[in-house]
Amino acid sequence: MAQLLETKPVSSTVLPVFLAGKYQTQTISVDSSSSSTTQSPPPKPLLIVTPSDKGTYPVILFFHGFMLRNIFYTDLLNHISSHGFILVAPQLYRVPPKGIREVESAAQVANWLQSGLQSVLPENIEPNLKTVVLSGHSRGGKTAFALALGYGDPIQKFSTLIGIDPVAGNNFGTTTPHILTYEPKSFDIPFPITVIGTGLGPESKGLLSCPCAPKKYNHEEFFNESKPPRAHFTAKNYGHMDMLNDDLSGLMGKMADSMCVNGKGPRDPLRRCIGGIVIAFLNYYFQDNEVDFNTIVNEPDVAPVVLDQVQFDAS
């Protein structure tokens, strides 16, 4: 059953990261089987969201959740891109692969960036491949962590890691590869990490259903095993799928809307909150702009949704 959201106090400060950025964005779909657009087609179909203005922009690799479609995240990706980022969101599978193949596919996409990404972008847009961010939602968040830990043998170097309600298992155990150790600060990841979780993710819709982000496998454990610099935020009154678009198509869209406990209310505030945290975090490390991120950490009421478990270990 959907749960009633608390009334969010209106902050006197609206940080620009929670609003649409100054860049117009465009969406590009790239078919992995097509050779007409590039001599080096990607190993998986891609959804790319990029600023339209001429420039060089950091790249964010974004991995979708279990059985979800990359197009379900376009509102969130457009918000982030409007602040000056190129989002590359592969469709890693439509039928869940066995074992470590999902992570290997993600690594193949990461390794393709150097040879192929420029060829599928507009001529006036250049990717900064010295600044590549790993990110993902749910099982895709776990995939991002797995790549950061070296699974799949990625050649591409990464700069930061952002897990959006990452999940590494269900009531039946962890998913392959088994990256959780249950030892504090055990992840051997040499760059900054932010973990954004949801308060309703660990809740179940009933006796016959499993939580979408069960305790022991969710954002809390990912943060616990991350080393500083690390940050943690929880959207208290929102559920595991509430950062997706409002209108989801097809059978998987209907399942995504119904399989998890959701907050009652519009999703846009959560998308703007997550997008704003991502932007502020990356600006903190890439642009030497610490103001917005420090403000969110020290004054979480400025966020569009209620945040708790706010923590930032800078070192």
* 130: number of Cβ within 10 Å: 9
- According to DSSP, residue 221 is labeled H
Burial degree of 22 (CB within 10 A; 0-12, 13-18, 19+): exposed
Cβ atoms of 49 and 81 within 8 Å: the answer is: yes
222 — alpha (psi -120 to 50), left (phi > 0) or beta?
A: alpha
Cβ atoms of 165 and 201 within 8 Å: the answer is: yes
Q: Longest C-alpha distance within the chain, in Å?
A: 54
Cβ atoms of 179 and 149 within 8 Å: the answer is: yes
DSSP string across 232-269: EEEETT--TTTTS-SS--HHHHHHHHHSS--EES-SHH
* Active-site option among 79, 240, 242, 292: 240
Does 288 qualify as catalytic in the annotation? no
- Contacts for 115 with CB less than 8 Å, ≥ 6 apart: 40
Going by C-alpha positions, the residue among 235, 143, 147 that lies closest to residue 191 is: 147
Does 313 qualify as catalytic in the annotation? no
Does 79 qualify as catalytic in the annotation? no
* Active-site option among 138, 219, 242, 292: 138
- According to DSSP, residue 167 is labeled -
Please state the length of the chain. 315
Using CA atoms, how far apart are residues 304 and 19, in angstroms rounded to an integer? 10
* Active-site option among 165, 219, 226, 232: 165
- According to DSSP, residue 228 is labeled S
Pairing mode of beta strands 46-51, 86-90: antiparallel
Point out the residues that are catalytic.
138, 165, 240
